[in-house]
């Protein structure tokens, strides 16, 4: 039995990765937790899928693997808190094409999609999602529940907080410091430190507070 939290497009991607990893068998069932799942998008999968609206509906089962299937940092963090409230922990999912350098640390719940890279001695906090071709440089530390979109790059010696979103192709220059709950838009190049709750855009990127 597998548990996937949220039933949108990211969940479809994770089901594909699970197929690549060959960690499931024909007898395995998949429970997807979502109040409004995109059920029609799952029609072509051969997995045995069951949709539930809340985690409490699935607590009677024993799970082989648990994954948080969202590309939104706040959703990922809410799901993490709810799982912990029920004494459950999300598992890592590392695609076979991903690269992890010497001395890198990958925490529970981290998703590494195809062709992602974590360089030597980087530390990746729990529940962080690296989408395809995202990369994290050497000696960079990243907190929990961050989301890196495809081809986003965080260079070496950076320090990143929690619940940040990095758009497709966003670049964070070396030794940059980023706080919590920021949004860096696609193709932006961030060259200076930012604190919390900023929308960051452009090259060089400029920031403004959400509130």
Asked if residues 122 and 138 have their Cβ atoms less than 8 Å apart, the reply is yes
100 CA to centre of own chain: 16
CATH number of 94-196: 2.160.10.10
DSSP state of 20: H
Task: Map out the domains of the chain as residue ranges.
Answer: 2-91, 94-196
- Is 2-91 assigned to CATH 3.40.50? yes
Is 94-196 the same fold as 2-91? Answer: no
pLDDT, one tens digit for every residue, the chain (211 residues): 999 999 999 999 999 999 999 998 888 999 999 998 888 889 888 889 999 999 999 999 999 999 999 999 999 999 999 999 999 999 999 999 999 999 999 999 999 999 999 999 999 999 999 999 999 999 999 999 999 999 999 999 999 999 999 999 999 999 999 999 999 999 999 999 999 999 999 999 998 887 6
> What's the pLDDT score for residue 211?
63
What's the pLDDT score for residue 37? 87
As a whole number of angstroms, the distance between CA 68 and CA 74 comes to 12
Q: Which of 174, 144, 178, 143 is closest to 157 using CA atoms? A: 174
- Predicted local distance difference test score (pLDDT) of residue 8: 93
> Is this structure's pTM higher than 0.85?
yes
Query: How far from the centroid of its chain's Cα atoms is residue 132's Cα?
Result: 11
């Amino acid at each position: 039995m597998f548990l996937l939290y949220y039933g949108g497009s990211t969940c479809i991607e994770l089901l594909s990765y699970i197929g690549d990893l060959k960690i499931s068998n024909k007898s395995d069932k998949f429970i997807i937790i979502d109040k409004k799942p995109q059920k029609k998008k799952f029609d072509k999968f051969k997995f045995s899928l069951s949709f539930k609206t809340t985690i409490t509906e699935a607590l009677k089962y024993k799970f082989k693997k648990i994954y948080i299937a969202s590309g939104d940092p706040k959703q990922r963090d809410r799901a993490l808190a709810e799982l912990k409230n029920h004494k459950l922990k999300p598992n890592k999912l590392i695609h076979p094409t991903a690269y992890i350098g010497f001395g890198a640390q990958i925490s529970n719940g981290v998703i590494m999609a195809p062709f992602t890279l974590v360089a030597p001695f980087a530390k990746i906090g729990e529940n962080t999602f690296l989408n395809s071709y995202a990369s994290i440089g050497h000696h960079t530390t990243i907190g929990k529940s961050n989301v890196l979109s495809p081809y986003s790059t965080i260079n070496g010696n950076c320090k990143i907080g929690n619940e940040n979103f990095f758009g497709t192709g966003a670049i964070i220059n070396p030794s940059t410091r980023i706080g919590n709950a920021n949004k860096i838009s696609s193709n932006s190049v961030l060259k200076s430190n930012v604190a919390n709750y900023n929308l960051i855009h452009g090259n060089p990127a400029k920031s403004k507070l959400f509130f």
